[in-house]
Amino acid sequence: MKSVCVFCGSNSGRGVKHLQAAQNLGKIIVKENLTLIYGGGNVGIMGEIANTVLQYSGEVIGVIPENLVLRECALKDVTELKIVKSMHERKAVMSELSDGFIAMSGGIGTLEEFFEVWTWAQLGIHSKPIGILNVDNYYTRLIEFIQNSVEEKFVNKENLDMIIIDDDAESLIQKMKDYKPVKVRQWIDKEGI
């Protein structure tokens, strides 16, 4: 794994724990000699992780739609800033550049990006590791919901096994480096219904 895409909030969240987690993950990304791929923003968790990687002399590639650049939301001091036409193109470029994905604390956009790359993995479009950094139990209820979806037979257990969940950034990165793609059935068979 040479690069990791981090999906995270353009807000900072409540308190400082999510910002501190972003700083910590940024330091670990540099320590592990990974390039950070992210949404190109200069605010919130997004700006914090990018600025931390840059502070410790790491490489950062931001991918941002031109309408957000016009709103002055881009972090321009990154190693490389790719300006794209749309959010759809942003996600495609980020996926193409990345060897793995981490969902950090964030809002609707972060959730949407996480679910899209997980869906792509389930469909066999990629076999890259997908991690959730569960800062202060932020994702615990979502994880429980997904586990319930497995119990209710809407999601295959193998699809849940594609997600690497940890509350420790260093441990999460190591598990992602060691990840072996999960072979999954595309659809639940008639016996599984």
Q: Domains (ranges, CATH) in the chain?
A: 3-136+163-179 (3.40.50.450)
pLDDT at 188: 53
Tokens of 167: 């509350």
Tokens read off for 12:
């900072």
What value does the mean pLDDT take over residues 170-182? 95
- Predicted confidence band at 54 (pLDDT cuts at 50, 70, 90)? very high
Residues 129, 132, 135: CA angle, nearest 5 degrees: 150
Closest CA to 118 of 85, 95, 150, 151: 95
Per-residue pLDDT at 66: 92
CA gap 170, 148 in Å, rounded: 28
Let me know the angle formed at the C-alpha of 89 by 84 and 95, rounded to the nearest 5 degrees.
115
| Digit-coded pLDDT (tens) for 119-137 | 999 999 999 999 999 999 9
pLDDT at 68 over 90: no
Question: What 3-state DSSP class applies to 35?
Answer: strand
Strands 101-103 and 60-65: unpaired
Model confidence over 77-93: pLDDT tens digits?
A: 999 999 999 999 999 99
